[in-house]
Amino acid sequence: MENGKNTPTPSPGALHTRWNPRLVMQIVALLLPNIVADTVMVAPLLVLPQVLDHFDTTQTAWISSGAMLAGAMWAPLFGKSADIHGKRRMLTVALLIACVGSLVCVTASELWVFVLGRMLQGAAIAAIFLTVAIVRELCAPRIAMPAVGAVATGAGFLGVGLTVLIEALAGRFGFQAVFAASFLLTMVAVACIRGVVPDPGFRTPGRVDVAGALLLGGGLTAVLGYISLGSELGWFSAVTLTLLGTGAAMLARWFLVSSRVPEPVIDIRNLGRPLLLTLLVVVLGSGAVQSMDQLLSLIAQVTPDRGLGYGLDAAGSLSLLFGVPAVGIIIGGLISGWIAARFDPSVSLAGGVLLGVVGATGMFVGATSFPAAICFAVLLNTSMGALTASGFNMAGELTPPERQGVVAGMVTVTSAIGSVGMSFVGAAVLSSTTVVVDGATMNSATGVFGYITVSVGVFLVATVPACLLLAHRRRAIRDLGAPPVADPTGPVDR
């Protein structure tokens, strides 16, 4: 904000209208925060059994999804703050907070301290939507859509190398090395962002609704805590019911307050039907994909000879199981960006959902076959890349420039909520169906295949809003003769 006024919109000549070395260098720099976000989300899954053993706990979901949960809390704050104070500045702040979180995880001696570190690391999740918002401000629309796909999902190209490195570091120095590496990588990302990426210059007057963000984040945390602890403490125990009641009350209060305050952290009053459908597809699809990563991390090192009815025996091969499929993310992101620019983001969003249905269904075979697990994990990651890039592109098309940060943050919030919610539900399914084998408590085949069934069902549900959005956009294009564009007064709903 300059003297209380909007910063003037850059002229078209100031935007990248074609691919050039300077744009490529900026995209590479913007990829680094997203690689950090990948290490925050995926890397702990590679050492999940070691972390559980170290802290002597079965709270899988809090360890694997704590950062995503925090991402849902951080994103609204960073989204609104980015529109007011600048996206590059808030991207730097998010990365520095994630740095602190990595250090906390390295030094944590208690589970609750480790989870706190994971929550601080979750600030890196905001890096994804902030880099996307910066790209949309630096590029003309025709270049912006494929560029968004590259930035949002390009970290997948380094997936194999990163997982090999992480697996080697964890094997030699312990799981703490994973978080030390994340700290170093984050510092490199901060230096590159400050040195290479310009400040797009957009500013929007306003204030940040901190109280609303705390109500929203606290409510989500309490409700997910109920889901996490219900199977262990009892769904109707005093502790779990208190968590559920507190969470529901906080969310209800947030809903009521957000409809009255001038600048809520998430403006639910100005969400048009296309944006609501987009967010619904993202929350369902992202949740289904991310939850399958958690399942793979739990069954990967189980050997088939245990007689449990599942098992991949992937000890020493985790880099293949998690690294190779990561390439699917960039494939999905780039192809969906091209489709979005040529046709419409709703087309690539629907395609991502269909790929997810096939990939999740294939995991019924992948739970017992290592090659099949890799193949269908590639499809699931391709789906994730398409959903991520298309979600951002679709939301960007429906939003005026001065609200890009807020709406991109909403996409991240819904993605995080879906991922965390599905991970907690999946963990509850597994913990309620365990069996005892040779004195050890193990996940049962009923739990594993029930988990997969839930993910397939969620993907099938996601096809409904995806088809409705596709039909809505086709009608709009037919009636208007061109895809609807963002109205300066708010989201498109035509």
**Backbone phi and psi for residue 271, each to the nearest 5 degrees, phi listed first:** -95, 110
Q: Is the pLDDT of residue 468 over 50?
A: yes
Residue 87 lies in a domain: yes
Find the range with the poorest average confidence among 20-29, 226-235, 479-488: 479-488
What does the pLDDT look like over 363-374, one tens digit per residue? 999 888 888 989
State whether 194 and 214 are in the same domain: no
> What b/e readout covers 389-412, taking b as 16+ CB neighbours within 10 angstroms?
bbbbbbbbbbbbbbbbbbbbbbbb
Q: Looking at the domain assignment, is residue 8 inside a domain? A: no
pLDDT in tens, 246-287: 989 998 998 888 777 777 767 676 678 888 999 999 999 988
Best-predicted range by mean pLDDT (7-11, 151-155, 356-360): 356-360
Lowest average pLDDT, out of 111-125, 186-200, 393-407, goes to 393-407
Tell me, what's the pLDDT at 232?
64
Pick 230 or 193 by higher pLDDT.
Answer: 193
Of 72, 151, 139, nearest in space to 336 by CA: 151
**In a shared domain, residues 232 and 317:** no
End-to-end CA distance of the chain: 31
Distance, in Å, from the CA atom of 160 to the CA atom of 412, rounded to the nearest integer, reads 25
pLDDT of 285 reads 92
* 298 found inside a domain: yes
Confidence (pLDDT) at 24: 87
Asked whether residue 492 carries a pLDDT value surpassing 70, the answer given is no
Asked whether residue 491 is assigned to any structural domain, the reply reads no
Indicate whether this model's pTM tops 0.75.
no
Distance, CA of 159 to CA of 328 (rounded, Å): 10
Report yes or no on 492 lying in a domain. no
More confident residue, 268 or 451: 451
The Cα–Cα gap between 40 and 37 comes to 5
In-domain check, residue 1: no
Q: Can you give the pLDDT at residue 318? A: 67
pLDDT at 459 over 90: yes
Q: Of the candidates 219, 239, 264, which is a domain's last residue?
A: 264
| 65 has pLDDT over 90 | no
Q: Which residue has the tokens 């985790």?
A: 318
Same domain? For 225 and 115 the reply is no
Average pLDDT, the chain: 80
In a domain, 200, yes or no: yes
Q: Residue 432 corresponds to which tokens in the numbers above?
A: 């309620």
**What pLDDT is attached to residue 102?**
92
Other beta carbons within 10 Å of 110: 9
- Tell me what pLDDT residue 489 has: 41
Q: Which of the four pLDDT bands, split at 50, 70 and 90, describes residue 9?
A: very low
Q: Would you place residue 163 in the very low, low, confident or very high pLDDT band (cuts 50, 70, 90)? A: low
Regarding whether 229 and 362 lie in a shared domain, the answer is: no
Whether 283 and 364 map to the same domain: the answer is yes
Select from 273, 390, 280 the least CA-distant residue to 343: 390
Residues 257 and 382 in one domain: no
Among 27, 32, 33, CA closest to 139? 27
Length of the chain: 494
* pLDDT tier for residue 201 given thresholds of 50, 70 and 90: low
Same domain, 151 and 100: yes
* Cα angle value 349/298/460 (rounded, 5°): 30
Closest alpha carbon to 123 in 163, 178, 66: 66
Q: Domain count for the chain, please give it.
A: 2
Domain region containing 298: 19-208+265-480
Check which CATH number belongs to the domain holding 138 and give it: 1.20.1250.20
Which range, 150-164, 237-251, 305-319, has the best average confidence (pLDDT)?
Answer: 237-251
Asked whether residue 428 falls in the same domain as residue 438, the answer is yes
- Boundary-marking domain end, from 264, 289, 310: 264
CA–CA gap between residue 61 and residue 300 (Å, rounded):
17
Q: Is 116 exposed, middle or buried (0-12, 13-18, 19+ CB in 10 A)?
A: middle
What does the pLDDT read at residue 315?
Answer: 64
Residues 307 and 443 occupy one common structural domain: yes
Residue 167 sits in the same domain as residue 204: yes
Is 444 a domain residue? yes
Residues 310 and 241 in one domain: no
Asked whether residue 73 falls in the same domain as residue 124, the answer is yes
Mean pLDDT, residues 334-345 taken together: 87
Using the 3D structure, point to which of 238, 264, 290 is the last residue of a domain.
264
Tens-place pLDDT, residues 372-422 = 989 999 999 899 889 988 888 888 888 776 676 777 777 877 877 787 778
Query: Is the model's pLDDT at 11 over the cut of 60?
Result: no
* Least confident window among 186-190, 248-252, 295-299: 295-299
The arithmetic mean of pLDDT across residues 122-143, rounded, is 82
Res 427: pLDDT: 80
- pLDDT of amino acid 426: 84
* pLDDT exceeds cutoff 80 at 350: yes
